Amino acid sequence: MAEGRGALGTSAVDIHFNSLDCRTLDKQGIYVMDEFIIDTRGSALLIEQLDNERVLTGVGGLHIDCRILFRRAYGTMICRLGVDRITADTHIGLIESRSLKEVQSFSFSRPRHVGHDGGGSLWTHLEYRSSPLNEIQGITWRGGSLRLASITLTP
């Protein structure tokens, strides 16, 4: 958050992981990118190749706890992500720019009887439009693993 908490973005930003090398992001690490910062907290993450794109995913898949903070705050966020073979519920929270607290959350889960062999994957776009003075400055990800493909931010 080099621009400071609550500083508004003035133009659209597309975050993709294709420009990054496939690698592990160690737990308890801070990784500074052009338009965002990844705080891995207690979870190792992985940038991996998936079909024709690179995605950010968790290592281990059960106890992920990380944050992705944007350098500026944005009014609209569209996040493309996928979940497959999850064995733990996954929580995505949106971080408001002034308080840096969650203002909205989404959860993904599978019925417990499915187990490890449920197969298939779910890909979706989460779109959030904030009200003025409540712009989004990041996301938090807890629980099970998912695959984060892209984040589009607009003022």
**Which tens digits make up the pLDDT trace of 35-50?**
999 999 988 999 999 9
Note the pLDDT tens digit of each residue in 101-154. Answer: 999 999 988 766 655 555 678 899 999 999 999 999 999 999 888 999 999 999
Backbone angles phi, psi at 119, to 5 degrees: 65, 175
Per-domain residue ranges of the chain? 13-111+122-146
pTM of structure: 0.88
Q: Helix, strand or coil for residue 115?
A: helix
Residue with tokens 């990054």: 20
DSSP 9: P
**Range 13-111+122-146 has CATH code 3.40.50.300:** no
pLDDT above 60: residue 2: no
Sign of the Cα torsion 4, 104, 63, 56 reads negative
Identify the pLDDT of residue 96: 96
Residue with tokens 């949106």: 94
